């Protein structure tokens, strides 16, 4: 795998083992985060061995939602690091905070799977996901600096990546407000995340294109 990454780096950058280690470590943390989600899935049975579907289904739904969210953030993280050639102390620090929030998602997932449609639980879960998304956007801003980026990367591309990354946190923050009175409706709003990402991604591409055209 290391050789594959090296092939994608410019010859002058292949000596930057710190950057490679940062990428490998990040991927490993994402794998751990997804594994923690799976560990919470256990067959729920009654005293006579019957499957308690009313307790199992919420856990399955929690896993699907959090797996989808984690996968989106991994794709965003992967997309970002494909545009970079080096790392910095600030990038390492913000990346660690972001990865910590990714691993932490296993806990609110477990809580929301156990206490379905409870307002404070829905708010806790949504806020946790939103914080992860905001940290992803912050990571993009920290990483997209001239010395760290590959040749050909632009300011418009940075704007496009940030707006796309804000799709999920905006939906989850909005659901926090709705959850105060309508927790089930707030959870239903989470299904609009792909649409929000697509819309903001399209908007980011348009705005980014105009910025680059003016430059």
What pLDDT, on the 0 to 100 scale, is given for residue 9?
A: 43
46-82 pLDDT, tens per residue?
Answer: 565 555 555 667 778 888 899 999 999 999 999 999 9
- Select from 124, 130, 132 the least CA-distant residue to 107: 124
Name the one residue in this structure whose structure tokens are 């309508």: 182
What pLDDT, on the 0 to 100 scale, is given for residue 50?
A: 53
* Residues of the chain below pLDDT 50: 1-15
For the chain, what percent of residues have pLDDT higher than 70?
A: 85
Going from the C-alpha of 114 to that of each of 62, 133, 165, the distances in angstroms are 9, 24, 29
What pLDDT, on the 0 to 100 scale, is given for residue 55?
A: 62
What pLDDT, on the 0 to 100 scale, is given for residue 183?
A: 94
| Global confidence as pTM | 0.85
Describe the crossing of helices 119-143 and 89-104 by its angle, rounded to 10 degrees: 160
Beta-carbon contacts of residue 117 (< 8 Å; ≥ 6 apart): 183, 184, 187
What pLDDT, on the 0 to 100 scale, is given for residue 4?
A: 45
């Amino acid at each position: 795998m290391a050789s594959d990454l090296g092939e994608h780096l410019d010859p002058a950058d292949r000596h930057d083992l710190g950057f490679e280690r940062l990428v490998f470590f990040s991927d490993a943390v994402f794998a751990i985060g997804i594994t923690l989600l799976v560990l919470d899935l256990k067959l729920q049975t009654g005293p006579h061995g019957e499957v308690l579907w009313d307790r199992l289904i919420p856990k399955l739904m929690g896993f699907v939602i959090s797996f989808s969210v984690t996968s989106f953030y991994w794709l965003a993280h992967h997309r970002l690091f494909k545009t970079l050639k080096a790392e910095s102390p600030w990038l390492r620090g913000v990346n660690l905070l972001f990865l910590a929030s990714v691993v932490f998602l296993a806990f609110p997932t477990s809580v929301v799977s156990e206490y379905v449609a409870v307002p404070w639980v829905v708010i806790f879960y949504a806020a946790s996901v939103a914080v992860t998304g905001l940290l992803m956007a912050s990571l993009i801003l920290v990483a997209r600096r001239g010395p760290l980026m590959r040749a050909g990367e632009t300011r418009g591309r940075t704007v496009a990546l940030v707006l796309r990354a804000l799709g999920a946190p905006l939906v989850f923050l909005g659901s926090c407000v709705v959850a105060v009175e309508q927790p089930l409706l707030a959870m239903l709003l989470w299904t609009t995340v792909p649409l929000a990402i697509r819309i903001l991604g399209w908007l980011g591409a348009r705005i980014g294109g105009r910025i680059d055209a003016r430059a």
